[in-house]
Amino acid sequence: MKKFSEHLGNEKGFIHTVILGAIVLAIAMAALWANTGKTNSSLASSKAAYGRATSVIEQGATFRLGFETIVANGVASSSVTFNTNSSTGLLNPSLSGISQQYPDKTLLATTTNTWVYKVDGSNNPVVKVQGIGVDASADYMVILPDLTQAACQNINQAITGSTSIPAPAAGTLAAWSTAATAIDLSADAAINKLSEACVQTTDTKYVYYKVLSEV
């Protein structure tokens, strides 16, 4: 009877050990699943943010395609207007094949901002970029002003493979945002040969530019 009692006690001890081990394993697995879920959620969020940022690049490419199309249809570069004009409008689908592009507001520090066509009152381009066309000549371009820093980093990651943000020596946010204001970056190596990029302004804001036609 004593041996049976000892045997039964040993079995109970073994069972308790197994149960305790199972509980510890279950807790560990639950923690692993929770951490995996957090990691997957973080990755999904990061991918979504990257996807939204690349939509800016796609819109810039759309403007360039529209510009090339309208010029191919006989409108002089110097005559293209950033509207739906029936004869010269870049945003007139019957002429350019494109319409106005609307940025994702979550990418903008100032959510009311939209695309700006950088030309003066005589429709002359006003921004010079080193290594694009003739350095001494301004190039036709559109810009999207006041992006968030994170959006700017994601845009550059897609363009250059780096989250680094070039910081040209000229151009405040106001200068970039005002269509007719000239910005001379013809000797600025920070954006040498970049036909598009997100850059830091001299007042630490962020703007994306896309060259539509090199001059």
Q: State how far the Cα of 143 lies from the Cα of 172, in Å rounded to an integer.
A: 13
The CA distance from 16 to 6, in Å, is 15
Q: Compute how many other C-beta atoms are within 10 angstroms of the C-beta atom of residue 133.
A: 18
Q: How far apart are CA 209 and CA 212, in angstroms?
A: 9
* pLDDT of 61 over the 70 cut: yes
Rounded Cα–Cα distance for residues 97 and 130 (Å): 30
For 35-52, how does the pLDDT look when each residue is reduced to its tens digit (9 = 90+)?
555 556 555 666 777 888
* pLDDT tens per residue, range 129-179: 999 999 999 999 999 999 999 999 999 999 999 999 999 999 999 999 999
Average pLDDT, the chain: 88
